[in-house]
Structure 1
Amino acid sequence: MAGPLVQVEKLCKTFGAGETAVRALADVDLQVGAGEVVGLKGPSGSGKSTLLNLIACIQEPTAGKLSIGGETVWEGHWRVPDLRRLRRERIGFIFQFHNLLPFLNAIDNVALAMTLDGVDRTTARQRAGALLDYLQVGKRASAMPSRLSGGEAQRVAIARALVNRPQVILADEPTAALDSERARVVMDLLRQVAREQQAAILVVTHDEKIFDRFDRMVALRDGRIEQEQPRAA
């Protein structure tokens, strides 16, 4: 597919109105291409999580334009009829904490996203098992979340985000709860996913130990992009 998988143009978000209005984002322009891993950094309150939520179609922009996979999804209003379906089929989300369901084992946590989309359980578990193998945690498929290490649980969470083959993967502080070694392993896996599946990955992070794992670092401050820094050769 030609063109970026994520494109935001002059994107704005304001919470509230009148004297109590808070501008969270102002005229943000950003593109993330297929196979690219982009880091988003900035101080608390700079708008990082708000931008991620707008791209995930969880919150509605105030102004600007948002396109996913070459399709305009918001410009003045939502341009797609079913946002839930858009999120299920085209966007994967990875959280700071794995948020695995404690009463399901690893493989069923991953398969659940497919069964909710109408896929039969056998097919969903086959796909989930293949993903867990791909992320080098297949031997833990039957383990409950409480029996997984932090790194293992985050890999399962990544598998869950990938199970519906999304074009776009959004991650909010995915390595914050991990030590340096496990954080680098998780980021290397995300880079592998981006290259092999030609996904666009955008990661919000404060974690300086993984900055060298990104193709670009984008810095936000006071709701605006302050600078972009390409990855060192």
Structure 2
Amino acid sequence: MKNILLITIYIMLNLNSCISSQNYNNKIKTDIFNNLINENYKLVIKDLKRTCNLCIPYKDLIETKIELAFSYYKVNKLEKSILIINKLLKYKELKNYDYLLYMKGLINILLHSKNKKSIFTFEENRDNSKLKIAFNSFKELIENYPNSVYYNSSIKKLNYIKDKIALNEILKIKYFLDNRYYLSSLNRSIEFIKNFQDTSLVYYAVIYARHSCEKLSLNEILKNFNKILDSNIDNFIKLKLIKK
């Protein structure tokens, strides 16, 4: 009987707390709305963090966390934003899952850009891991959410990332070629042709592969690359990589 009474009191206290929290939450919502209009995202973040600590329904809590992730993104606190998004992406049943994937891709592109130097020079220790995470996020969205409002934008960003990765790979191939690491250059050229055959830079991969074969006296393999070049010459001309 005593235990039942204690449980009842506990439930009543929490219920009263939730009611008062709901009233308090309505005030915060008004503050958030006003701050959003004024684009004062630092105050929005402050209010959203307070909301997360209130007794609010699960659905509202998820929405609040999504808004918090977006607000962190707006004030360039990308690491905090991606931390929230990664936690939310564990729940595939969320109705805004496509939006979370899109934001994950977008933020990882920005995180990559923060740490890069010139894209036209090869850095041996360049880290493309953020770009690859972004690539996989957009790819997942495209494959699983064809009706998403972020679908078309994701395709464009996927192609953008692919071109960025392809450029870095072709610079690696040229770096190895220029420094006489012909076998490494050849192997990377072959991998490039497999993975990036739909990019314009594939032409250079074939040229570098031919050059490596010549240096290594791999005449039979050289013939194969000559065939690839000859059979695709019209495509390369269309891409304006070779002048008529």
Q: Which has the larger radius of gyration?
A: 2
TM-score, reference length from structure 2: 0.23
- Structure with greater strand share of residues: 1
TM-score, reference length from structure 1: 0.24
